[in-house]
Amino acid sequence: MSGVANIRNWGTAAILWLSAALVSRSARAGNAKLLVFVHVAVKQRAFQGQLQAALPGIEVTAVGRIADFERTLTQGTDAVLTLPVVIEAFKLPVVLRGYRAGNVEEAYSIVAVGSAPDPHEIRAVGALDILGREGTNKFVKDLLGHTCRVERVSKVEDLLPLLQMQRVEAVLLPVRLLSEIKATSKLDLVGTEIVKQVALPAIASVTATGTQVIAALEKLPTHVRKTLGVDSWR
């Protein structure tokens, strides 16, 4: 009799466990979703973990490739955090823009080995891929003022090998990231700041639930905003 009781108790416990698991899964499925596509100086997984820890109750997906951004956006999200040029390309409404030191834009540098490069003389440049081949080529052309061959990479750390292997004459990146790559390389990296600047990351709403995500993003801790390159949202 006790064996039957034990089986019954085990069965009841299993049912309760399964019910709890289904409720938990349902709760996760109902979480507001945030899609992030911003190139940063930390590893993608660490970046996503940093954001997820700062945004409890929100399902965060951080990607480093434009193809992954487009696919995840198609699968469904409530808000996105990325560069305005990307937001505009996908015709999404910007709700909040990132600011740093009161500015909505940041400076970019063209960086070479040994001596400061002339942006007007560069014929082959490495750049972070933000919009695929055509979109990134146009982005680079708009910044440098002329057409050149563009080698695209999906991670900040992948810019250095382009210089090491002499596949490009210089690389293009935000000035704030220059110290990061200098710290990881023995190359004599020298940058020339270009005249045209680029808008800092912004937040766009995709669904009505996006307002919940945006409210949470406004309260991001200082260290997470620093990783993103912003200090406030407006």
For the segment 145-159, the average pLDDT, to the nearest whole number, is 96
Q: Supply the mean pLDDT for the chain.
A: 89
The model carries a pTM of 0.85
Which one has a higher pLDDT value, 27 or 34? Answer: 34
Of 4-13, 119-128, 167-176, 214-223, least confident by mean pLDDT is: 4-13
Do the bridges between strand 149-153 and strand 232-233 make them parallel or antiparallel, or are there none, so unpaired?
A: unpaired
Which tens digit of pLDDT belongs to each residue from 76-91?
999 999 999 999 999 9
Residue 82: its pLDDT value, please?
A: 98
Instruction: Give the residue extent of every domain in the chain.
Output: 31-97+200-233, 108-196
3-state secondary structure of 152: strand
The pLDDT assigned to 184 comes to: 87
* Per-residue pLDDT at 223: 94
What single DSSP character describes residue 12? H
pLDDT at 221: 96
Q: Which residues contact 209 (CB under 8 A, 6 or more apart)?
A: 32, 33, 78, 79
Task: Please name the amino acid found at residue 224.
Answer: V
Q: Which CATH architecture has domain 108-196?
A: 3-Layer(aba) Sandwich (3.40)
pLDDT at 66: 97
Considering only CA atoms, which of 154, 122, 161 is closest in space to residue 141? 122
CA torsion angle 173 179 185 190 (round to 10): 70
Q: What is the DSSP string of 101-137?
A: TTBSEE-EEEEEESS---TTT-SEEEEE-SSHHHHHH
- The CATH number that domain 31-97+200-233 falls under is 3.40.190
Read off the pLDDT of each residue in 123-151 and give the average, rounded to a whole number. Answer: 97
Phi, psi of 43 (to 5 degrees): -60, 145
Whether the domain at 31-97+200-233 and the domain at 108-196 fall into the same CATH topology: yes
